[in-house]
Amino acid sequence: MEQIYDNILPFKHISEAANEAVTYIKRRKSHEIEPLKSRWKKFNDMCCGGIEPGCVYTIAGISGTGKSSFVNTLETDLIELNPNKELIILSFSFEMLSRSQIGRKLSNKLHQTTSELYSVSEDNELLLVEKTAKSFDNYPIYYIDDAATVQKIANTIDYFQNTIAKDKWLIIILDHTLLVGSENYKDERMIISELEKVFIKAKKIGTTSIIQLSQMNRNIENTDRINNPSSHYPIRSDLSSSDSVFQGSDIIAVLARPELLGITAYGPRKLPVKNKIYLHFLKVREGDLAILEFENDLKYNNLIEV
């Protein structure tokens, strides 16, 4: 008598996976599939040409290193520098209001600090702000301001993948992981573990890329590390809930501003620190690790790649 097997997982023969890999390479060669470019060429190179579908990117750093500005700029670049792509950006803006996100975009576009923008007094200045803000109307960006649970995030992603972003490239941005709640857990590590599982599932559906911001713990601020150049650079254990984040991410990059910690020469190579920001790649699935150097232009919500 033939035995009946229920509830088994779907599987594929290696030949099918090989054909999929070759097809993907051919489509990249013909530019049918192209990674999304940012303004930072070296960053693009580290990410195998740019932001790719089916990947989770983690940008981390201590407070004040420019994480939100970096991702805000990246969000704008993905639309402006890839005009031939049909994109939808779903941004879970838990740390700041979407209004503030637009303020940062205006700051970058108009080369004014947000303080200057919010203090305009001349009518012509206000008209320029309004005109620039109006130019964002056609950007396919959807913000969610209210902090949410992992379950509501998963439901919202599922809704976008099946409606607004159906047959389009969905970019999911989350700022940031420590602000996510859960209906199942109270423990921070368990919540982030649950979140990463949602992202791993979501990146495999349709054409989806995920960019999440994560916080560093306080270890990197210890006096012993500040006084020891060989301990200046961030490491895996500096990430909050590092195990889950490392497992769930395809690329992890950590922003560092040595000046914030009173460091005058950065790391064993004695890198300069004045007006410098460094981006440390701690995990790259398809390449080598590296440190990228930027000039600090955060007052205009920008980083300038050296």
Q: Could you read off the pLDDT of 65-118 as tens digits, one per residue?
A: 999 999 999 999 999 999 999 999 999 998 888 999 999 999 999 999 999 989
pLDDT of the chain along its 306 residues, tens only? 567 777 888 889 999 989 988 988 888 788 777 899 999 999 999 999 999 999 999 999 998 899 999 999 999 999 999 999 999 999 999 888 899 999 999 999 999 999 998 988 888 989 999 999 999 999 999 999 988 999 999 999 999 999 999 999 999 999 988 889 998 888 888 999 999 999 999 999 999 999 999 988 888 999 999 999 999 999 999 988 778 888 899 999 999 999 999 999 999 999 999 999 999 999 998 778 999 999 999 999 999 998
**Residue 81 confidence (pLDDT):** 97
Among 102, 95, 238, 240, CA closest to 173: 95
| Size of the chain in residues | 306
Beta-carbon contacts of 113 under 8 Å, excluding residues fewer than 6 positions away, are 107, 299, 300
The backbone torsions φ and ψ at residue 185, rounded to the nearest 5 degrees and listed phi first, read -135, 155
Q: What is the pLDDT of residues 291-305, one digit of tens each?
A: 999 999 999 999 999
Q: What is the rounded distance in angstroms from the CA atom of residue 62 to the CA atom of residue 59?
A: 11
Residue matched to tokens 């995990």? 283
Among 177, 220, 269, CA closest to 65: 220
What mean pLDDT value characterizes the chain? Answer: 92
Strand order in the sheet with 302-305: 141-144, 87-93, 169-175, 207-215, 55-61, 251-256, 276-284, 291-297, 302-305
Among 237, 272, 239, CA closest to 258: 272
pTM of full prediction above 0.75: yes
CB-based contact 81:133 (threshold 8 Å): no
Q: What is the rounded distance in angstroms from the CA atom of residue 86 to the CA atom of residue 92?
A: 20
Q: What is the rounded distance in angstroms from the CA atom of residue 90 to the CA atom of residue 240?
A: 24
